[in-house]
Amino acid sequence: MRALLKSQILKSVWQFGQPEQSFHRSHRLLYSPIFKQYEAVSRGEQPLPEYFNFAKDVLDKWSQIEKDGKKAFNPALWWINGRGGEVRWSFEELGIRSRKVANLLLDQCALRRGDRILVVLPRIPEWWLLTVACIRTGIILIPGISQLTAKDMQYRLQASKAKCIVTTDALAPAVDSIANECPFLQTKLLVSSGEGERDGWLSFNALFKDAAASHSCAETKLHDPMMIYFTSGTSGAPKMAELSQGMLDQLVKTFFPLLFRLWLDLTPSDIMWSTVDTGWIVAALGTVFGPWVFGSCIFIHNLEQVQSATILNTLSRFPITTFLSVPTMYRMLVKDDLTSYKFLSLQHCISGGEPLNPEVAEQWKNKTGLAIHEVYGQTEAGIICSTSKQMKVKPGSMGKAFPPYDVQIIDEEGNILPPGQDGEIAIRVKPKRPLGLFSRYVDNPEKTAATERGEFYVTGDRGVMDQDRYIRFVGRADDLMTSSGYRIGPFDIENALLEHPAVAEAAAVSSPDALRGEVVKAFVVLSPTYTLKNKEDLTVELQEHVKKVTAPYKYPRKMEFVQQLPKTTTGKIKRNELRDREWGRI
């Protein structure tokens, strides 16, 4: 009842624009450890804190509220694997386990605050423990998707100088094949499904059993580095985008934000499920920081294979109230007979990672009665635009600017464009850079400086703002592609193709696709020494080759063999021309 009343109050607060401290006194008392500091900051009586640590300042406070009996909580983490395996951890259990992992990293892996660790794990509970443990210790987390190849991991280990890598049995052989080429790598930590050991690896399970459960959280400052994400390369190798502890403070705004409610609108009674891969920033925002700010339950299905029936059955069987996924997933789901499923608890559906087709949103609404609320963001900035529960959903729109960002559409000179004009989506960074924005591209000051134009950080995406300040996505300003929620740069694909003896030149661009929105298409110029016998056989051979050389999700689903590629006078490939041809713009 309390949660329901609190949700109603939140809605009235949003609709009338009143500050959050106008909540009824009983609700402020319920969360008094959190509201006390929030109210002081919001009234301007207290500046933003010099120090901030999500584990200490948010998770541990919820754990204390839970222990004090002030709220009957759902689990903090509820995980299933679809084969009978299940984990339910309270905030107190999460705290104990994450402290044990923190001690494991410090004592057994010999890591120290500021060291970097590459974590390549699927959707298993250990990923959440390691994420929280890194925050507790000040160790810099580098998440990686579980589809990374040996070459991908080698590049990331060499570029980041990570001292430790954590992965599973499935990827351990790939790590071993390149470990000797990574001089900074000191420790390999294996999260195994069994009790077996592997030469040269430390066993997570064995070390966890013996680790101490007492740990003093690191005193991290707002601008201390917290995470590094490798971006998708466009004209070169992936860059390392560094995010600070202050990114969370921007989201949390000292522990209970009106801001974050603009896209999640959760309460401690809610259960949120996101299907995104652990290697992407949406996983951090939607399956760690966002729900746990509100004391909500994070629900995770391991999803070794993504099938629409599995998704729909899970939404029907479990009391999930909020669902976050990519548009590709919704496109899959609306093809099913949704009348066979009853979502008894589902109230809020969110889409992100790529543009959502208005037709799909309409079909979902007609079949389920639920609107899909779109959000837009990127690795460097987190959430940039959102459509909250209380906002009108405009088909084809990503919503409005996500505070505290001042989002504008600008031209090539950095001038703000009027409503209705196509330009680049940009965030104002002067006179003061927003906390939520990435700190820098590590070891790449030139690329960092190139992201600014006048008073703005430019996202590399193009959009149009209407009179109501809703923003519609138009397309990329560069060669980056988005397929099934994955950001894909052409560089890795083209390099992989060029390693095959049949290929002389290659260009990768986006191509329209009914299910995925867009997919990768490769234009290939064959080597003069190669004799083409069968296009279909060579296409499959090259696709399999790319899957082996780089992450499998990057492989070109379409391929065309051409005599030559369009180029500039200086010899650069005109990918924009090939892309425009694919999309029927020329």
pLDDT reading at 355 higher than 70: yes
Fill in the DSSP letter of residue 56.
I
Per-residue pLDDT tens over the stretch 375-434: 999 899 988 999 988 788 998 899 999 877 899 999 999 999 999 998 999 999 999 888
**Cis omega (within 30 of 0) for bond into 431:** yes
Kindly provide the residue ranges of all beta strands, DSSP E only, lying in 133-209, ordered along the sequence.
140-144, 164-168, 187-191, 202-203
Mean per-residue pLDDT for 112-125?
A: 97
What pLDDT, in 10s, does the model give residues 15-68?
A: 222 233 333 333 333 344 444 544 444 444 556 678 889 999 889 999 998 888
Mean pLDDT across the chain, nearest whole number?
85
Strand intervals (E) in 370-502: 372-378, 382-386, 400-401, 407-410, 423-428, 440-441, 452-453, 456-465, 471-476, 481-483, 486-488
Alpha-carbon distance of 145 to 279, in angstroms, equals 4
pTM over 0.85: no
Task: Examine the pLDDT at 1 and tell me if it is beyond 50.
Answer: no
Sequence-ordered alpha helix ranges (H) in 469-520: 490-498
Local confidence band at 572 (pLDDT 50, 70, 90 cut-offs)? low
My answer on whether omega of the bond before 404 falls inside 30° of 0, hence cis, is yes
Q: Read off the tokens for 520.
A: 């990768």
At 255, the pLDDT band (50, 70, 90 cuts) reads very low
d(CA 271, CA 345): 9
Q: What percent of the chain has pLDDT over 70?
A: 86
What lies within 8 Å, CB to CB, of 573 at 6+ separation is: 505, 507, 565, 566, 567
> Phi/psi of residue 550, each to 5°?
-135, 180
* Distance between CA atoms of residues 390 and 532, nearest Å: 58
Tokens in use for 576? Answer: 């924009």
| Contact criterion met (CB below 8 Å) for 397 and 470 | yes
How far, in Å, CA of 325 to CA of 536, rounded?
34
Taking 90 as the threshold, does the pLDDT of residue 328 lie above it? no
Residues 257 and 279: beta-carbon distance below 8 Å: no
Q: What are phi and psi of 84, to 5 degrees?
A: 100, -15
Which spans in 336-407 are helix H? Answer: 358-368
Q: Alpha helix locations (H) across 318-357?
A: 327-333
Q: What's the rounded Cα separation, in Å, for the pair 483 and 70?
A: 44
Question: Does 584 score more than 90 pLDDT?
Answer: no
pLDDT of residue 496: 87
Element (H, E) at 522: strand 517-526
